[in-house]
Structure 1
Amino acid sequence: MYPLKLENIYFEKIWGGKNFNSFRNNVPKGKIGESWDVCFHKNVISNVKNGVFKGVSLEKLISKYGSKLLGTDIPLNYFPILIKIINAEDNLSVQVHPNSEYARDVENDIGKNEIWYVLDCKKDSEIILGTKNCTKKDFEKALYDGNIDKYLNNINVNKGEVFFVKEGLVHAIGKDVMILEIQQNSDITYRIYDYNRNRELQIEKALQVIDLKNQCKKSLGLKFQEKNYSKTYYCISKNIAVELYHIYKNFQDVSNSERFYIYTCVQGKGYILYSNGKEYIGFGESIFIPASLGMYEFVGNMKLIKSYVPNIDDVNNEILRLVNY
């Protein structure tokens, strides 16, 4: 096994644009809004773009290598994480994702929690996270009247900020914001307001799952400083964990036989070294660490987001060890 790099899968969106061209040379023409960078979804599956597995789909690799690739704690019949980059050159629709129970009963799918890392944005850029000054009845009336702006909680954002967007939370990415989105492997979205762009709304379903008590603030994280890097824990949930590594020189680790890891470069560039070679990683690239890889080392000056499905007890014990170090 070796660190896997996967093909970018692009999607044109009404709110997309050209910004992917600033750091990639494989972008198709059109208003590109999304790049799915690590995915094994029922509609879209990544192919490997490096090494001996080049051109092979993630589906086929999992079928052949199973737990050697994913880890012994990850079910082989369901890939749990979807990694996207979202390029919003106009406002996305205001939307909500269902909880797991509703998604299972109504959509035969799973719910959708997601973590946002702000890759880039312009001054005074905003996102919408939650509601304000309204009851469920107020919000419902405003939805059908097409006048919900006064009830939306707009937040100014800055590059490098992190937000945990939970199922049931009313939310939207605003104009001129680029987001790294780490999410549960579901693509169910109920659109409730779309700035008069004449796309379908799913208001009735949305009202079944909106939780007005569900609010969201910037994640402050828990940071630990090491000699050659720092490590910040931003989110630890049963479905997704996200950490940020700021590497000044190098960071060495070993793969986990129970789970795979995904690293995404959100600033700078460098290399990952492993027993049989090395791979370059630059801004906006993701790299998949198989559970059976063994020792690996990142070398360079860069920031990396690490995404994985955690054993929460193990992570808590790791934090306690660092606190008491």
Structure 2
Amino acid sequence: MALYPIKFTPIYKYRIWGGNKLKTVLNKNYTQENIGESWEISDVKGDETIVSDGSLAGKTLRDLIKDFKEDAVGAHVYKTFGEEFPLLIKFIDAKTPLSIQVHPNNEIAKQRHNSFGKNEMWYVMEAEKDAELIVGFNQKVDKEAYVKALESGEVLKILNNDTVSKGDTYYIPTGRIHAIGAGVMLAEIQQTSDITYRIYDYDRVDSSTGKTRELHTDLAVDVIDYSFDTNYKTNYAITENKTNPLVHSPYFKTNIINIKGEIKKDFSDLDSFVIYICVEGSLELIYNDKVYKVAKGETIFLPAALDDVVLKSHNADVLEVYY
């Protein structure tokens, strides 16, 4: 059975802070309220995404790797991760702010949770007026000063708030305190991990449980990176019809492409799967003379065995992700 460009059926996640933009803006198909996340490509246990169309429909991402091995993900990726997929791709809609949180690194996550760590990045797709993200500290802080601020209820005063707009990009390495603010919709690329330590949650009660959500203040203290930076945002430039680097980390590489016309892509030298995330406009991806349409808010997975594709659009912004 031959491989081809693959779409997965998203998995929708209720969140206390979720809104309805994933439905109204990105045309996601669900009926529940407060859907905060659409998991586009996932190998998280119990939340494996399923192929939605073509001859492989019904198979999970894990099934693809089992069946096709390095043809699915690339020889280096298969050698490193085996049948586990290293990335989780999401869209996130925050109607109200997320909790202040931090993620552990690979070593701590493995030791405490038998999981990968959670290095991640955000690409802002929409931001309401004055919408903010919290990323890092706004001053030099050590562990003692942080604990004091947390215990006195003043932790928000030492955190860095950035007002954001469409296209703003942030790399969030493990250990960096962060939170998505109200009115922000974004694409998130991260390691395959669902380990989050909540530090502060505005004393909110979750209507689905009638309780406040669990905090993980003790677990977080030794995970937090207390360093201070004057700028946490990723600086980048876009030249149309070129592959522009966005975030290149040891855990994933993300480029941005503004497509106006037609671009030929040759992956014969790239030993990895490739994921395209359409964050603006729409495009046609052509492989073996077959056209795959990708709308804003859709994600498509190219197995590593696929070398040559054509991207075509009047005007689209696309994130290109690989390992």
Answer whether TM exceeds 0.5 for this pair.
yes
Number of paired residues? 306
Question: Residue 25 of structure 1: CA displacement?
Answer: 4.6
* Equivalent residue number for residue 256 of structure 2: 244
Please name the residue that 1:262 is paired with.
275
Give the residue type in structure 2 aligned to 1:283. K
Task: Give identity over the alignment, percent.
Answer: 37
- Say whether 1:57 aligns with 2:60: yes
**Greater CA drift, 54-63 or 120-129:** 54-63
1:196 aligns with 2:203: yes
Match of 2:73 among 61, 70, 75: 70
For 1:48, the aligned partner's letter is: V
What amino acid does structure 1 have at the position aligned with 2:22? Answer: F
Question: Quick check: 1:295 aligned with 2:312?
Answer: no
Tell me what 1:122 maps to: 128
Q: Which whole-Å deviations, capped at 9, do the CAs of 1:129-165 have from their partners, x for residues lacking one?
A: 0112333211112212332111111111010111101
Q: Separation in 2 of the partners of 1:191 and 1:99?
A: 15
Query: Is 1:280 aligned to 2:283, yes or no?
Result: no
Shift of 1:102: 1.3
1:182 match: 189
Q: Which has the higher mean CA deviation after the structures are superposed, 200-209 or 49-58?
A: 49-58
Q: Which of 5, 8, 16 does residue 7 from structure 2 map onto? A: 5
- 1:37 is matched with 40
State the 1:214 CA deviation.
5.6
> Do the aligned residues in 1 keep the contact of 2:99 with 2:201 (CA within 8 Å)?
yes
Deviation at 1:250, TM superposition (A): 1.2
The 1:105–1:307 alpha-carbon spacing in structure 2 relative to 1, beyond 3 Å, is: same
CA distance in 2, matches of 1:57, 1:86: 22
Matched position secondary structure for 1:53 = coil
Deviation of 1:236 after TM superposition, in Å, equals 1.2
Matched, 1:234 2:246: yes
| 1:305 lines up with 2:319 in the alignment | yes
What do you get for the CA RMSD once the two structures are aligned?
1.4
The equivalent position to 1:91 in structure 2, one of 97, 100, 120, is: 97
Output one character per residue of 1:266-312: Cα deviation in whole Å (capped at 9) or x when no partner.
01012101114111001010000111123110111211001111xxx
**Deviation (angstroms), 1:20:** 1.3
**Which residue is equivalent to 1:212?**
226
Aligned to 1:108: 114
Q: Give me the whole-angstrom Cα distance separating, in 1, the residues matched to 2:176 and 2:164.
A: 18
User: Unaligned regions of 5+ residues in structure 1, if any?
Assistant: 310-325
Kindly indicate whether the alpha-carbon contact (under 8 Å) linking 2:124 and 2:165 is maintained by their aligned counterparts in 1.
yes
Contact 1:17 1:32 in 2 (8 A): yes
Superposition misfits of 4+ residues, deviation over 3 angstroms: none
Residues 20 and 27, structure 1, Cα contact 8 Å, conserved in 2 = no
Give the Å deviation of 1:78: 2.1
Measured in 2, the distance between the counterparts of 1:214 and 1:175 equals: 24
Q: 1:167 aligns with which of 174, 177, 184?
A: 174
**Structure 2 segments unaligned to the other structure (5+ residues):** 205-211
Aligned twin of 1:312: none
Q: CA offsets, 1:62-117, max 9 Å, x none?
A: 11111111111112332111000111000000000011221122222121110100
Which residue does the alignment assign to 2:87?
81
- SS of aligned partner of 1:186: coil
